[in-house]
Chain A
Amino acid sequence: MPDADTLIQHYLEGTLTDSEAEELHTLLQNEPQLGSKLLQHFEMDAMLRATKPLAVPGKVIQPALVPRRRFTFATVTTVAAMAACLALAGTWLVLSLPRPATEDTTASVAVLTRGVNLEWESAAIAPGTPLSPGLLKLKSGIAQIEFYQGARVLIEGPAELQLISSGEATCTRGKLSANVPPQAKGFRINTPKGTIVDLGTEFGLDVSDASAEVHVFKGEVELHQAAESMKSLKEGQAMAFAAKAQPLAANASSFASLNEINARTALSDRSQFERWQAQSALLKNDPALKLHFDFQDDESARSLSNRAAQGEDGSIVGASWTTGRWQEKRALDFRNVSDRVRLSAPTEAKALTMAMWVRINGLDRYFNSLFMSEGWNDRKIHWQIVRDGKIRFGIAGAAGHGHQDCDTELFFTPERFGRWMHLAVVFDPQAKEVRHYANGTLLAKIRLKDPSPLKPGIAELGNWNDRRTTNVAIRHLSGTMDEFALWDRVLSEAEIEAMSR
């Protein structure tokens, strides 16, 4: 058995075996002075690690070490200190500097927050999507759009709405109702017949080829028409855009209301949830399904039930329960560095498919874990999102072989944050390729260098355990997950597409 110095070193290094731990425990019980020695070494060890320079001059960083870079407190505080210095140096100076070339930007002016039975004539848009200036053509359904300036608009298909800015749009066809809070005062809706300028109110607009009518439910709006003087319309009044038009009584019931969209969203959610429940229950009939976490456990549960016919449950560490894709769907929120679900995946898989529903908040880490095997050696797998927005399926090399990173093109741009996404990855040894999918669409096919079996083993959702006890790289996910499944076979494109609906 090693001597006390070696046992203490192994404790510090995190390499104590069970028998060494037992031996050290016995020694500590029998020799009280060894306890203070161990604590002194422990403190010195921690201090020595803290004196590590951020970059050691003259040293070449080995490429293999680059992914192990740690999001250290030193990094946080250095950045914080720099930010503090900058702020104190004068806001005027910061404001006058050009925006850094790497800063993300967006052209969006509004966001589609909710939708019921949406069918689009223009490109399909899902709730959560930020909207840039352009034409929206809604065939049917009700869409709720929130403009960045604060106005909320419900449009009922069939309708056409051209977004112009965060405070202006043009409606050329269809019905809409708008809720304009005081901070969005001045919100403008143009029509072919004239323009409505809102003074902080609620109103409805009905535009057809023949006419355009405005109904004011609350507050006041201004009607501007070419060759006509501005007209002011008050609560309870309605008016057509026409010369010498007289005020009419407003008819709120002919426009979609928030209550209506709430009720219809609840109904639609319920029906989608029930459809998902029925499909989900069928998955376990597939003997190749090895893991299926549907995240429908009790909200006090700290283990995640595996609905596959065989296999172990997962263990929730840190992550907290929240709402998933629908009101009745549960999900886990991954936010902190400790948050994860630990699970046992097959120790060996000749072929593999993994799929999950996830909503990414942002790419906080260099590597943002979706599913990562413990450690990184001998055909272990790391499914992750790299900070630049690529989805990566990394396969660690077996003895004598290098690892392979199978990357998509850039996919996770800021516009995709905050939206539920169905992601899938397939390891297909027969075709000798890895395939990535998002929302049922093939994103990338990558030629495999080595199609030999994978060895996922113990793994984590939303985080990584690199098996070390010190200097552990932080790769936690910032997002929400509400379903995960793993099969030891290749799923077809049709199967993946069906799951993503």
Chain B
Amino acid sequence: MNIAETHAAQVFLAHHDFVKGVALKYAPWPGLMEDITQQVFLEFMAKESKWDLSSDARPLLATMTRHIAMRLWRERTRQQPDVVQKLADHIRLLAEERETPPRYEDEVRVLRTCLQKLPQKSRELVELYYYDDVGTPQIAEQIQMKADTVCRALSRVREKLRECIEQNLNQGGHAHA
């Protein structure tokens, strides 16, 4: 990496959560956010000499991310059966129509604190599902419960975390789940 590339990488790193937020808005498809961010990074670095990095990089990154998100979204969803494609289109429209701007950057920062405040069992569930890549049917088997129960438990954990984030961001108080 030369000096210019290093600088470009630093600019990107400073905005990578912003990129993820934009990716989520334009491509609400599971697992796609990481791929989009990765691709934006690669394309941003490939053309680093073209960018004026002395000004705010957000408009540029937002445009790049939107284009790449749409492209990868189309590639990913068109492999799906018709019925899933229709659902995916519906969800994407919902995401685009939302008036609230992406708050991923702020929220993910607070989330880490909220996670520490989760009850032990909820934290274990998050670790198993999100960190150890154990699917809900396998978790259900391990804890001898129905898969639907695990799905609902994960849903409740996410809602608790959402509440904690909202509380923290709105009131500026300590994160509490």
Contact = CB atoms under 8 A, between A and B. Distances in A.
A65 B81 CA distance: 29
Contacts of A2: 148, 151
B28 A25 contact: no
Q: Which range holds the interface residue count of chain B? A: 35 or more
Interface stretch (A15-23, A110-118, A276-284, A435-443): A15-23
B136 A13 contact: yes
B50 to A, nearest CB: 18
B38 A337 contact: yes
Given A46-B20, A46-B33, A56 B132 contact: yes
A61 B130 CA distance: 15
Contact of A5 (B33, B90, B104, B155): B155
A45 B158 contact: yes
Contacts of B10: 81, 84
A83 interface: yes
Contact of B111 (A6, A14, A36, A48): A48
A470 interface: yes
A469 B30 contact: yes
A42 B24 contact: yes
B83 A21 contact: yes
B23 to A, nearest CB: 9
Contact of A47 (B31, B42, B98, B111): B111
Interface string B1-40: 1110010011011001000100010001111011101110
Contacts of A446: none
Given A39-B28, A83-B6, A9 B136 contact: yes
B19 to A, nearest CB: 9
Contacts of B13: 77, 80-81, 84
B165 to A, nearest CB: 8
Contacts of B6: 83-84, 87-88
A41 interface: yes
B9 to A, nearest CB: 4
Contact of B84 (A21, A48, A68, A84): A21
6 contacts: A14-B31, A39-B95, A48-B111, A48-B130, A53-B131, A338-B75
Interface of B: 1-3, 6, 9-10, 12-13, 16, 20, 24, 28-31, 33-35, 37-39, 41-42, 72, 75, 79, 81, 83-84, 86-87, 90-91, 94-95, 98, 104, 107-108, 111-112, 115, 126-127, 130-133, 135-136, 147-148, 151-152, 154-155, 158, 161-162
